[in-house]
Chains A and B, each alone.
Chain A
């Protein structure tokens, strides 16, 4: 296969629209992979994926991607964070101590504008306090744009503290009573704090479908007492949105982009490595069997039959279950289980034909060794014919990895597309309407496999023209 032939073939390839489409798709996916590898190192991606909630605490749960706002009439909220440690977020803090004594006053104001059409998904307040013996004491108030102030809570602040406003049962009951009194009718359902604190206080509140968002300037006011001169309190209010980033988040608040991006290089390398290794190994085995004949051939026949009866997927699953394998070891297992597959029979038939060619006989005549004949004469002759099937089988392996992940047997830590789908499926994404969770990785899987398939089919038309050019 000279370079010139390759160039000719490539030009031929480009004549097919499907091949061009396939190449473009693959270019995109490879671009994604390179981007992923460069921007987020593998260890960091794995870590981010495994620790999940711990480091993504500022992300909303199960948030849709931001661009969904383009399709919906509503403007879904993004996450708003007001942090006393970050003055630019708008937080205002004042600490006043008298000239003598240890008791000081603390006032924190966390203002923000809320103009979205839908309610936040969650409300959390994260607090940190410095003190040596006596914890500071605070009261938390909520100020709505209509001027109403609602007392949320009174608490002491530990060195690291969290107030999960949205799941505060006591607050929920109080807010319900408050709204019922305001409107004059009993609110017939449990209205959660993140809705009650943002709702327009009229009859629309009585039904969950009709509740409206009161748009305007909101404020959380924290008034507290510090009991030591060195004491300090900092806090961070997170008003969780319903959309996040380009890809949304999952049930563990993880940014799906990380897994979507990293899924690309993993999928592509898994598929390509599997395909190439298996094809080459099968070719070598077939060549050896065809060339040496007799007992080598018989052995091969038996091995192929054995492999055919051995149920591939169940055994693969069995091994995956028992060993909890990493994806790269899984790759090796897949390769080992596949090398005696049906491809060997096809290649062997081809090699048997090639063996009879006169130039092979000539090579023997001038004393070429067996290994040399196999590798330098027989294999290169057959190579072009197998390239199409090589490319085509990549899709199969990409989906094999996805299938294992969906069955819960894939690499437990690697962020792959299959893993996302598995999470989505087990957490009932389809029932709860989190379609993007399933659609995004599926889209990428489909795109990748289509890319390889289009390319493979076009290559098949070039390298095996007899079948198409009838």
Chain B
């Protein structure tokens, strides 16, 4: 046992280090791209210049100054502001600074957006929105996973039946992304039938009682969750069923049958257990995909999560928020990949011990 534990820890450490390096590189790439190699600085400078000019020339307190004096004052204020923002140094040096602050999640202040609590700190804004995204997409992914697992197992037993063929033929529905089904569901259930809300997190005004609040949130989750289930449950069930079929024709399954192992136990120990690695990969990929899909889905449903936040930041060109979000995404992905690798190691001894063989 000790040998295994040691191998496991060594593996985890290796993966963690690799991922950390990759995250650093990814965030740095983000910083570079987001600042377009310094171009965004120019924009900020121009905007600053404009707003200072405006405030100086239109401020009644300064009316008495001559035009020249006003200009001098504007210049002074401008230089001060630029220095405060650190824009007088060349970009490359600042990029490293940005990198470190981004990595430590010191994400600075937003330019235009604010959090509901009034804070301009990017971190606060993001942290405020993160839980709603996690709530929605964790629910979706877990439901998809268990639905398709049970469905896939069930179908693999009934191979060739009508139900099997039906699910197979419905798989192409996944060509249409979840958010698109969302638009239609809104059309039918909100616009036409007026049964469910158009979007958002809770009713407006939100119920005070926490129980009613939770119910309201649930009501608002019905359509987004359904849209993803519509899109992806068929193909995921199909994939798992195919995996189970493939793995149930393995020699060791036959051997287990010859040993007189009862069928339920065979299913669990000889089919399900070895199939876990590819199934978990699929789950992780779906999870990662949903972080991406979140952006459009949240926009369609007006769901106040980090996806909508990204959209808002994008339309305002609020670069601190944009960079902050991309950093958070990078972290989210890295964490997901890391957890995936750990779970792999737990589930598949070949990965844990390393295929040393003899």
Contact = CB atoms under 8 A, between A and B. Distances in A.
A309 to B, nearest CB: 5
Given A309-B333, A392-B175, A470 B295 contact: no
A230 B290 CA distance: 71
Contact of A430 (B187, B325, B329, B332): B187
Contacts, number: 132
A315 B33 contact: yes
A442 B329 contact: no
Interface string A432-470: 010100110010011001101110110000000001101
A327 B333 CA distance: 28
A431 interface: yes
Interface in B159-195: 159, 169, 171-172, 174-177, 179-180, 183-184, 186-187, 190-191
Nearest to B294: A313
Contacts of A173: none
A309 B337 contact: yes
Interface string B26-46: 100110011010011000000
B32 to A, nearest CB: 11
Contact of B183 (A431, A438, A456): A438
Contacts of B325: 314
Contact of A453 (B26, B175, B288): B175
B295 A317 contact: yes
Dominant secondary structure of chain A at its interface with chain B: helix
Given A18-B169, A314-B329, A395-B176, A306 B292 contact: no
Contact residue range for chain A? 35 or more
Nearest to A448: B175
Interface in B187-212: 187, 190-191, 198
Most buried by B among A310, A323, A457: A310
Contact residue range for chain B? 35 or more
A445 B181 CA distance: 12
A311 interface: yes
Contacts of B315: 408
Given A309-B333, A311-B329, A406 B29 contact: no
Contacts of B34: 318, 322
A407 B330 contact: no
A424 to B, nearest CB: 9
Contact of A311 (B36, B300, B330): B330
Interface string A405-434: 011110000000000010001000011010
Counting from the closest, the 10 A-B pairs by CB-CB distance are: A453-B175, A311-B329, A453-B172, A395-B175, A313-B292, A449-B175, A403-B296, A470-B245, A430-B191, A309-B26
Given A314-B292, A445-B176, 11 more contacts: A308-B333, A310-B29, A311-B291, A311-B332, A314-B295, A322-B36, A402-B180, A406-B300, A449-B176, A454-B172, A470-B159
Interface of B: 18-19, 22-23, 25-26, 29-30, 33-34, 36, 39-40, 159, 169, 171-172, 174-177, 179-180, 183-184, 186-187, 190-191, 198, 242, 245-246, 249, 285, 288, 291-292, 295-296, 299-300, 310-311, 314-315, 317, 322, 325-326, 329-330, 332-334, 337
22 contacts: A18-B172, A305-B22, A305-B337, A309-B330, A309-B337, A311-B291, A311-B330, A313-B292, A314-B329, A318-B30, A321-B317, A321-B322, A322-B34, A322-B40, A323-B36, A396-B177, A402-B180, A408-B315, A438-B187, A453-B172, A453-B175, A470-B246
